[in-house]
Amino acid sequence: MTAKKGESALGRGLDALIRKEKPEKEEVSVEKKPVKKKPTKTVSRTSKAKASPQPRKTKTSEDPNKIIVDGVIMEVRKNPRISLWSARSAAVLRFLKNTKPAFSISKEASALIEEAVQQKYPEIWEMFEKENF
């Protein structure tokens, strides 16, 4: 794609790299003519929807929270870490690390977060206790 005279890509970032030039009016009218194909696609979509209502019913008949819990458990087993930003908390924990022998920032942060999450969201916490997680 080439820039027209007087146009510059500077300052446009990614838009300057992926910008599509506007099609001419003739091309637009050519693209609008095959409107007859849309009903065919709609019919095939409708037939697919009619052919597979049973799998959808089995998915929706299962508890949606159970599906989410299972997905979360799989994700957490792969990567149990969380990240957060708190300058003051980081300063306090680093101070403790430098002043208390064998102090673990990770263990302390985990204990504090678990206690706070359990108190704030007891119902959700129980869902994961039931899963022995």
Rg (CA), the chain: 28
Q: Is the pLDDT of residue 76 over 50?
A: yes
DSSP category for residue 33: S
Q: Is the pLDDT of residue 77 over 80?
A: yes
**Between residues 73 and 40, which one has the greater pLDDT?**
73
Q: Is residue 116 part of a domain?
A: yes
Residue pair 113/89 in contact by the 8 Å Cβ criterion: no
Find tokens 């009903």 and name the residue.
39
Instruction: Give mean pLDDT, residues 89-114.
Output: 96
Q: Is residue 113 part of a domain?
A: yes
Confidence of residue 49 (pLDDT cuts 50, 70, 90): very low
Q: Is the pLDDT of residue 123 over 80?
A: yes
Q: Is the pLDDT of residue 33 over 90?
A: no
Range of the domain at 122: 102-132
Q: Is residue 64 part of a domain?
A: no
Residue pair 63/56 in contact by the 8 Å Cβ criterion: no
pLDDT for the residue numbered 62:
72
Which of 76, 88, 82 lies closest to 113, judged by CA? 82
Q: Is residue 26 part of a domain?
A: no
Q: Is residue 7 part of a domain?
A: no
**Between residues 44 and 76, which one has the greater pLDDT?**
76
When divided into structural domains, the chain yields a total of 1
Instruction: Give mean pLDDT, residues 9-14.
Output: 54
Other residues' Cβ atoms within 10 Å of the Cβ of residue 80 = 8
pTM here is 0.49
